[in-house]
Amino acid sequence: MNREIAVVAFAQTEHRRTSEELSEVEMLMPVLHEVLARTGLKTADIGFTCSGSSDYLAGRAFSFTLALDGVGAWPPISESHVEMDGAWALYEAWTKLLTGDADTALVYSYGKSSPGPLRDVLTRQLDPYYVAPLWPDSVALAALQAQALIDAGDTDEPALAAVAARSRADATANSHAQLRGSVPRGEYVVRPLRTGDCPPIGDGAAAVVLAAGERARELCERPAWIRGIDHRIEAHGLGVRDLTDSPSTRLAAEKAGAFQRPVDTVELHAPFTSQEVVLRKALKLDDSVRVNPSGGALAANPVMAAGLIRIGEAAARIHRGESDRALAHATSGPCLQQNLVAVLEGDPR
């Protein structure tokens, strides 16, 4: 049961405002080919394939079955899909490898937000009885959380602007980022959040290869071993929660072993500046830790892929020898409703 499982390769698209000239599978395929090329594997060599996406984003029913064309899923392969961010697809693949049923897994996710009104589309994930009929958009809900943080003295607008500025400055080194460099704070979208506090809306895809034990060492010079991974969820009602905290993130981190030893790098999936404040508090991060060297979701937030990208970015730093122990976080739902934490480590150098 105690199989060691690692992220051995990661690839992502250049995230853009629109990819209208490509279908979903056409956008995804180069990423699949790139991640496989990094390991020398072919699609036929993969033991298990798991994907994450949502048909609501582009309004295309069963788009995930069309995307499966890109992995050569006919005749049928062993595969699964979650209507969630790819980080949760990775979780499923990790459990599959733990069972010993497969030694390698391909995990991918994609989102095309450009065809639809994303802020409205995301209201469809809310409580259908009491909340969704009011159409509170994703920025409005994040803004309620931001105001609660300001009222609690946890942050203020200049501090939020600093999170945005740091993220987009770091993103200048990330060729995949959609928004980088100096980005104006902008007008209020929903006060207290300004355009600069919000993630860019765009299209993108990402893919990861997982491998178990010796197979991982064959496929990657320095595998990013998954030392722990866990996901937890908050109560359903927004008004039941303390929006200034994220007990689910803290618990997931605890279960993933994040607090056993310090990490040197953290990739947080915080689409809004204020959510980084919540996550830093929940994970007890101080300024000694490098947070979101990739620029994070404020630099590129392809919905359904941005969480998997956090794990991929953290793993890639371990592959490159830039990190020895990293924490990756993914979120889903309004106001950090559901949270996943993975702890990754490289072999000692």
Residues in touch with another protein (CB under 8 A)? 20-26, 29, 32, 43, 56, 58-60, 66, 68-75, 115-117, 119-121, 124, 128-137, 140-141, 143-148, 151, 188, 190-193, 235-240, 243
In angstroms, give the least distance from the CB of 346 to another protein.
30
Quick one: 249 or 294, whose CB is closer to another protein? 249
Tokens of 338: 């559901």
* Nearest CB to another protein, comparing residues 20 and 218: 20
Neighbouring residues of 239: CB distance < 8 A, sequence distance ≥ 6: none
User: Is the CA virtual torsion 217, 223, 228, 232 positive or negative?
Assistant: negative
Q: What is the DSSP string of 82-120?
A: ESS-HHHHHHHHHHHHHTTS-SEEEEEEEEE-TTS-HHH
193 vs 212, beta carbon nearer another protein: 193
Longest Cα separation, the chain: 58
Judged by CB, which is closer to another protein: 190, or 220? Answer: 190
Write down the least CB distance from residue 145 to another protein, Å.
8
Considering the complex, what minimum distance in angstroms separates the CB of residue 347 from another protein? 31
CB of 75 to another protein, least distance (A): 7
**Positive/negative CA dihedral, 99, 46, 323, 159:** negative
Residues for the chain: how many in total?
349
Nearer to another protein, 121 or 211 (CB): 121
Complex with another protein: residue 33 or 255, whichever CB lies closer = 33
d(CA 227, CA 25): 32
Question: Apex CA 249: angle with CA 245 and CA 254, to 5°?
Answer: 120
Q: How far apart are CA 198 and CA 189, in angstroms?
A: 9
- Smallest gap from Cβ 30 to another protein, in A, equals 8
Find out whether 289 and 263 touch, Cβ atoms under 8 Å.
yes
Residue number, 5 or 58, with CB nearest to another protein: 58
**Cβ(167)–Cβ(298) below 8 Å:** yes
CB of 120 to another protein, least distance (A): 6
DSSP class of residue 261 equals: S
Residue number, 69 or 264, with CB nearest to another protein: 69
Q: How far apart are CA 192 and CA 188, in angstroms?
A: 7
Q: Distance (Å, rounded) from C-alpha 67 to C-alpha 282?
A: 36
Please state the φ and ψ torsions of residue 278, each to the nearest 5 degrees: -60, -45
DSSP state of 27: H
Nearest distance in Å: CB 216, another protein: 22
CB of 202 to another protein, least distance (A): 15
In the complex, minimum distance from the CB of residue 121 to another protein, in angstroms, rounded to a whole number: 6
Closer CB to another protein, residue 188 or residue 259? Answer: 188
Residue 147, both tokens: 């105001």
